[in-house]
């Protein structure tokens, strides 16, 4: 919130969220003057998330200080697979699970604790839609080197078949 509250250009923050803390979060947005630039959707089933990502200019995943050392959020992979620009916290960016990430080439890396630098990255996104689109395209190419959809489907089918055989 700190990173966007002083940005003068037009932008829209989309939050896919609900549950505890949402009311307080909305009050905070109102206090910071960001409620008019915010849109909320309730949680969505997984098969609808790619559509929301595809309609976004970029997706911000600034996670930091997560108490579980090997925490690997799936959202960055989803954003890259869809071919959209990803703003990713440096703390989780260096996980090989996402492939070879290169700042300003196939991802935008941020230190969420460095608010002025974080703001600068968001302003870059707002002001440079063509470059941001190209970063997303390159993210998609990187995604294809990490995940193989056909292998995933084959593996999943093998797992189901082994369960069926086990039950017999």
Ordered by where they begin, the domains of the chain are 1-43 (no CATH), 44-167 (3.40.50.2000)
Give the pLDDT confidence of 43-81 residue by residue, as tens digits.
Answer: 999 889 999 999 999 999 988 777 666 667 888 999 999
The pTM score is 0.82
Give the pLDDT confidence of 81-108 residue by residue, as tens digits.
Answer: 999 999 999 988 877 678 889 999 999 9
Q: Are strands 13-16 and 58-61 parallel, antiparallel or unpaired?
A: unpaired
**Beta bridge partners of residue 87, listed in sequence order:** 60, 108
Mean pLDDT of the chain: 88
């Amino acid at each position: 919130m700190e990173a966007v509250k002083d940005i003068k250009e037009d932008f829209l923050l989309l939050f896919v969220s609900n549950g505890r803390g949402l009311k307080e979060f909305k009050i905070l947005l109102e206090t910071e003057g960001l409620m008019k630039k915010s849109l909320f959707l309730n949680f969505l089933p997984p098969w609808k998330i790619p559509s929301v990502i595809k309609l976004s200019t970029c997706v911000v995943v600034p996670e930091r200080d997560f108490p579980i050392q090997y925490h690997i959020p799936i959202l960055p992979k989803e954003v890259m697979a869809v071919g959209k620009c990803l703003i990713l916290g440096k703390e989780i960016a260096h996980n090989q699970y996402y492939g070879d990430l290169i700042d300003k080439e196939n991802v935008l890396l941020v230190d969420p604790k460095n608010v002025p630098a974080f703001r600068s990255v968001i302003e870059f996104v707002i002001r440079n839609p063509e470059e941001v689109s190209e970063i997303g395209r390159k993210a998609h190419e990187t995604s294809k080197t990490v995940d193989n959809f056909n292998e995933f489907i084959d593996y999943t089918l093998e797992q189901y078949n082994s369960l069926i055989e086990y039950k017999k």
